[in-house]
Amino acid sequence: MTENTRSTIEQEVTRLIGEFPGEAAFFARNLTTGEEVGYRPDRVMPTASTIKLLILAEFFRQADAGLIDPEEPLAIIPEDRRGGSGILKDLSPTVSLGARDHATLMTALSDNTSTAVLVRRLGRDRILASAREWGMADTTASFTGTEREYGSSTPRDFVRLLTLIDADAIGSPAACAAIRDVLVTQQYHDQLARYLPYSPYAREGAQHRGPLIVRSKSGFSSGASGGIRTDAGLIELGGVRYAICTMNKGSDDRLFGPEHDGAILNGRISRLVFDAWQPGEEAAGR
């Protein structure tokens, strides 16, 4: 990415955000070249469910350290049951899943009940201690409540975490590979992947046929300050890999439709970065 390209991206992002009714920030790091681009990357923003990426990383850190068995059955107690996104709220209250299954549901369907189960088992304080150890200085969470009370972070913090996951620097290489395998199961692709030539169905289990692979965790919520949309992930195509996080809040749209202006904004920012860093013919899907 030349300085001219970076300047063009930043100018276009500034224009897009200027047309958005709320606040927004993003950061991206090319893991192949080391280049970076962003807009207010240290702005602390509500994370919505993207904070579950941190829980996922801590789960596999503890599994790698022998502190939890990925196949360990984790029962759902009444205090774990949550509304919002997910499927467990609609299943039998006696259902019991293995720990890794909860981690997958938390990621793939953003299941709030599985999230509560894992936070209880892993320990909120331990999760946040790992965030500090991983350099996420501006990240905090209660995993309850709304908006910033639930979780807050910055685009730079999430890209820092994704960079460590990509570099096999959280536990063993096998643990980091397991994190990446779960991230590819996400089923919400209306933000980072919105305008990319990506097929979420071109995979069997954790094996995606590509050529474009997206490993991400999105978030969406609504509160007193308006709609919130966040997404953080690893994008790979043609030997080029990069980490990106986009965050916004304050949309007048408090609903959850596919044409939400916050999701569209994050998708447009994602496409600008994609076009700057990916090979032309492969990026065009040819």
Domain boundaries of the chain, sorted by first residue: 3-283
Record the pTM.
0.95
Does residue 285 carry a pLDDT above 70?
A: no
Write out pLDDT tens, residues 9-24. 999 999 999 999 999 9
DSSP character at residue 127: H
Task: Assign 283 a pLDDT band (cuts: 50, 70, 90).
Answer: low
Write out pLDDT tens, residues 174-195. 999 999 999 999 999 999 999 9
Residue type, 130: S
Write out pLDDT tens, residues 210-237. 999 999 999 999 988 899 999 999 999 9
SS3 labels along 10-51: HHHHHHHHHCCCCEEEEEEEECCCCCEEEECCCCCEECHHHH
Q: In CATH, which of 1.10.10.60, 3.40.710.10, 3.40.50.720, 3.90.740.10 is domain 3-283?
A: 3.40.710.10
